[in-house]
Structures are given as C-alpha cells and as structure tokens.
Amino acid sequence: MNGNRTRFLVNRPIGLIHEAWPAAFYRPRPGMLMGQARPGYGERPAFDDMEEAVFIRYLMPKSFWKLLKWLQIGEEKKLKEAWEIFDRFLYQSISAAREKLISRSKSPVEEEEEFTFLSAFLADQGGQTDYTSENSNKILRDHAFSLVAAGRDTVSACLNWFFWFVATNPSIETKILEEIKEKLQEKGKLRFFSTEELNSLVYLHATLCETLRLYPPVPNNHKTALEADVLPSGHQVPQNTWMLISFYSMGRMHEIWGQDCLEFKPERWMWITKQGGIIHVPSYKFTAFNAGPRSCVGKDMSFIQMKIIAVALISNYRLQLVEGHPVTPKNSIVLHMNYGLKVKVTKRFG
C-alpha cells in the first residue's frame, strides 16, 4: 500500500469535497504539462509539493526563500505551480457545487442529499440562497484549502505509520482483532458503526495514540512572541522571536514519557483495569493535536475516521511488510513516509 493509496482509502469514506477529489490532486500524466513520475511510487501529488515547500520555509532564512520566490526557482517555483493546480481544481469544484444548488433551488427534487463540506459551506452563506455570487469564491477556496491541509494528509500519514506498527507487531494486531471481535463482530458482518461502538475500541484507540506520539503527522509547530515574554522555564523571549517546537522530539523525551519513551507500547494509554479505558493525557504533554486555543478542531473526527478504516482493513486483511522496502520519514510539514508503505495484502477469509 503506498501513501497515495492510503489517502485514497481515507478520502473515499469521507467524501470530503468532491467525488473526483483524490485524482484531482495529481499532476497530469508524464508527457503532459507538468508530469513528474517517480518510478514505482506513482505520480507526485501537487499537494506534496506544497507541503515540502512550506517545510523548506521552516529551514531557510526568510530572505533566502523570498529570493527563490522572486526568482521563481526551486521549491518556490513548485509551490506556485502546485497552487495553480490546486486552484483550478477547487474553483471547478466550487462552480459545480454552485450549479447543483442553483438547479436544486429552481426545481427541488426529493432525493437523498449528498453531504459535502463544500455544499454545506455554500448552503450556509448567511442563510442566503444567492448561490450565484462569485464574491464568496475566494473565501470558499480558502475554507476548502484549510480543510484539506488540516484533515487530509494528517489522517493518511497517521494511518500509514499505524499500519506499519501493526504489520511489524503481530501481538498488537492480535489484540486489535480480539477487541474488534469482542466489541463489534458478534452482531454479524461488518457494517456502519455507531460512535459508541467506536469509542468502545479502547485498545485500538491506545494504538492510534501511541502512533501519534511517536509519529505526529504535524511534527513541528512554531510561535512568535508578539511582545517580550518569559517562559515558565524562566527563559527570556525577546519580542518577535520565532520559536520552533518539535512535537516529534517531545514524543520521544524521557523527561516527558519516561525511560521507555522509544518503545511502542499502547498499554501506556490505558487503565489497567478489567474495564479498561483511556487515560487522560493533557494536551501540553500529548501535543499531536496542538495545545491551547489553536488546538485541532478535527481531533474527534480524525479518531472516528481512523478507527473505521483500521477496523475495515484489519478485520478483512492481513498486511505484511514487503521485505527491503525502506520506511523513513519524509522532510515535509506533514510526517509522511518517504516512499509510502509497501505491504502484501492477504484476505483473512475465503
């Protein structure tokens, strides 16, 4: 399974904005305008270029990337091209959703409404029915971009690392399977799950948290001091200081997680009682979803998505790592695997 395919699996159930969503982020095929294939690993999504370019901005002095931008070379050139692809797709999706709403308001039909964030945003524009207004396009495009940037690759990156841990830890896979069997499967074949049912999957939840601790999809964050300040540690922070916070490193510090911080132990998240249950860990310690006023608003939703996908895949298929496939993190603002996760997939039944 490579990273792109996991994204496909993730995006389909969510039906995020548009049916053609996953395909639309890929550059045109090689030989066309901006084709750029990596042998064996598929085409590069435009969105990957954006994430890598933003990561480079973290590393370079501002004057340097500004110069690249001005000269339109390197990562900044790729960023501009990626924006063009992205905008083209988003504006097309907005027009299509707008037309759908207009035709529906002219001749309402009794059909089951297909929910997408985009149609919900459009329908919510001040409760107005003027869907023809083009003024709101830019706002809609920015909303859609925020949702994609925040919710798409974060979930798929986390799932890749999660499936890697499951494929390399048979005892963890067995425990997840036992829990699914105990809590979900007695009612028959796999089907839609209620939130309560998904909440009852404590071991699966703990395994996802442990994955997020060691491989936080957003590995870095930064803050700038608007005014001179003093941190609780006593460190002086002059005005306009740019501080980089590594969530990745924080997840691997003994001072925070104890001597076994480098071990993958879902149990550290669970009460060791008969009932089980997830231990509350403050967000300033478990920072994968950020802490404070700008914390992730999609945290609960992402656990639901990840659990649905984990249950559907693990209960039906066995994933075995392809020998020799390199598993390394990528330099990007989202902690992807450099070459995706390559696994052999075998059906559990039949």
> Judged by CB, which is closer to ligand HEM: 2, or 156?
156
Q: What is d(CA 125, CA 102) in angstroms, rounded to the nearest whole number?
A: 14
Q: For residue 207, what are the β-bridge partners?
A: none
The closest of 101, 93, 147, 108 to 128, measured between CA atoms, is 101
Q: Which residues bind ligand HEM (CB under 6 A)?
A: 146-147, 150-151, 154-155, 158, 217-218, 221, 288-290, 294, 296-298, 301-302
> Judged by CB, which is closer to ligand HEM: 131, or 163?
163
Q: What share of the chain is helix, strand, coil (3-state, %, to 5)?
A: 50, 10, 40
Burial 306-322 (b: 16+ CB within 10 A, else e): bbbbbbebbbebbbeee
Q: Annotation-wise, does 296 bind a ligand?
A: yes
**CB-nearest residue to ligand HEM:** 298
- In degrees rounded to 5, what are phi and psi of residue 120? -65, -40
Q: What is d(CA 91, CA 137) in angstroms, rounded to the nearest whole number?
A: 7
Spatial contact of 42 and 27, defined as CB atoms under 8 Å apart: no
Q: For residue 317, what are the β-bridge partners?
A: 347
Q: Determine the residue type at 174.
A: T
> Judged by CB, which is closer to ligand HEM: 65, or 289?
289
Rounded to the nearest whole angstrom, what is the least distance from the CB of residue 275 to ligand HEM in the complex?
Answer: 26
Tokens (6 digits) for 120: 């919900």
> Judged by CB, which is closer to ligand HEM: 234, or 293?
293
Q: Could you identify the residue written with the tokens 């049912």?
A: 197
Q: Which regions of 170-304 does DSSP assign to beta strands (E)?
A: 220-224, 229-230, 236-237, 242-246
Please report, in range form, the residues annotated as the binding site for heme. 296
